[in-house]
Amino acid sequence: MDRMAQRFLDYLLVERGLSRNTIASYGLDIAQFIAYAAGRDVGSPQALTEELILGYTAWLLEKNYAATSAARKSSAVKGLCRFLYTEKAIEKDIAAVIEHPQTPKRLPDTLTRDEVISLLSRPDVSTDGGLRDRAILETLYATGLRVSELIGLTVGSVDLEIGFVRCIGKGSKERITPIGEIASDYVRQYVSRCRPALVGSARVDGLFLSRRGKPLSRVSIWKLIRKYALQAGITKPLTPHTLRHSFATHLLEGGADIKSIQEMLGHVSIATTEIYTHVSREQLKRVYRESHPRA
């Protein structure tokens, strides 16, 4: 089982092009399933049965896993079983019995436009660190980049004259997304005024750097956002992804079409992007409740 599981993970990396973070999550979920099977004296792919698979999905719910976690773990097992079947390691497509636990549709957390303005204005741009942080916040909100995409930006991947950013998204797929004039201006100031001192004599391609001249981490981006959110008096849960959600929601509210938003976010399926139409509907409901005399 372990050997076939590793072949499946290699397949996801090489042929499906999934990110290493996604594959690491799959690996943990599959390892849990293998341990479950071993506890029931099943140690080879040939010994897998539909009853075992159904028992595992029921066990996940008995252990009180959140519906989203149970669905993710079931999906990993389903992918493994499909792989075993296509590789002829098992004779029957037992993955067909897996039905993912229903997950409630959760609207993403977003900031209001006033909250975004308050957050972006917190860094002290008279200092090098503050200017860098302002450029980071402006870029996140102006482009809707994931934090992994932001920290992967290089100086050459940002064309401030034309107003586009080239990034590498999920599955190592490249996309180009616009960056507005305000964000471009702050990035330009950061590159000319602050970045040379951070780089020093080293050769570093990364755009946004730490005080030691190293690429920033996801955690460091999260920490700086939390710091400025507290300064702005924003108490709602806030992560780099909140700015991505706010970017998409504000575009939709401003009249952008869903297909263009899908392209800018780098979503493979438009169904993923359509959640923002629900956010917009919530906005309509709020306006209705506040405005209509019989609401």
Q: What would the pLDDT profile of 69-125 be if each residue is shown by its tens digit?
A: 888 898 899 899 999 988 889 988 887 777 655 555 566 788 999 999 999 999 999
Decide: 198 and 215 in contact? Cβ < 8 Å. Answer: no
Decide: 62 and 56 in contact? Cβ < 8 Å. Answer: no
With a cut of 70, say whether residue 294 has pLDDT above it: no
Please give the pLDDT value at position 15. 78
Spell out the domains of the chain, with CATH numbers in brackets.
2-97 (1.10.150.130), 113-290 (1.10.443.10)
Place 1 in a pLDDT band, splitting at 50, 70 and 90.
confident
Residue 212 designated active-site:
no
Decide: 134 and 144 in contact? Cβ < 8 Å. Answer: no
Element counts in the chain: helices (H) and strands (E): 14, 3
Place 284 in a pLDDT band, splitting at 50, 70 and 90.
low
Please tell me the distance from the alpha carbon of residue 23 to that of residue 83, in angstroms, as a whole number.
15
Residue 65 designated active-site:
no
Residue 170 designated active-site:
yes
Strand 164-168: give its sheet, edge to edge.
158-159, 164-168, 174-178
Helix (H) or strand (E) holding 167: strand 164-168
Model pLDDT for residues 136-191, shown as the tens digit of each residue: 999 999 999 999 899 999 999 999 999 999 998 877 788 999 999 999 999 999 99
Please tell me the distance from the alpha carbon of residue 280 to that of residue 155, in angstroms, as a whole number.
35
Instruction: Tell me which of 100, 166, 170, 188 is the catalytic residue.
Output: 170
Half-sphere exposure of 289 (CA within 13 A, CB side): 6
Place 237 in a pLDDT band, splitting at 50, 70 and 90.
confident
Instruction: Tell me which of 72, 244, 245, 250 is the catalytic residue.
Output: 244
Q: Nearest-CA neighbor of 22 among 262, 271, 268, 278?
A: 268
Model pLDDT for residues 210-230, shown as the tens digit of each residue: 988 888 988 899 999 999 999
Residue 267 designated active-site:
yes
Please tell me the distance from the alpha carbon of residue 145 to that of residue 149, in angstroms, as a whole number.
6
Segment 49-68 shows an average pLDDT of 84
Tell me how far CA of residue 174 lies from CA of 168, 198, 263, in angstroms. Answer: 4, 27, 11
Instruction: Tell me which of 72, 73, 146, 250 is the catalytic residue.
Output: 146
Residue 276 designated active-site:
yes
Place 16 in a pLDDT band, splitting at 50, 70 and 90.
confident
With a cut of 70, say whether residue 295 has pLDDT above it: no
φ, ψ for residue 54, nearest 5 deg: -65, -35
pTM for this predicted structure? 0.65
Higher-confidence residue of 27 and 18: namely 27
Please give the pLDDT value at position 135. 97
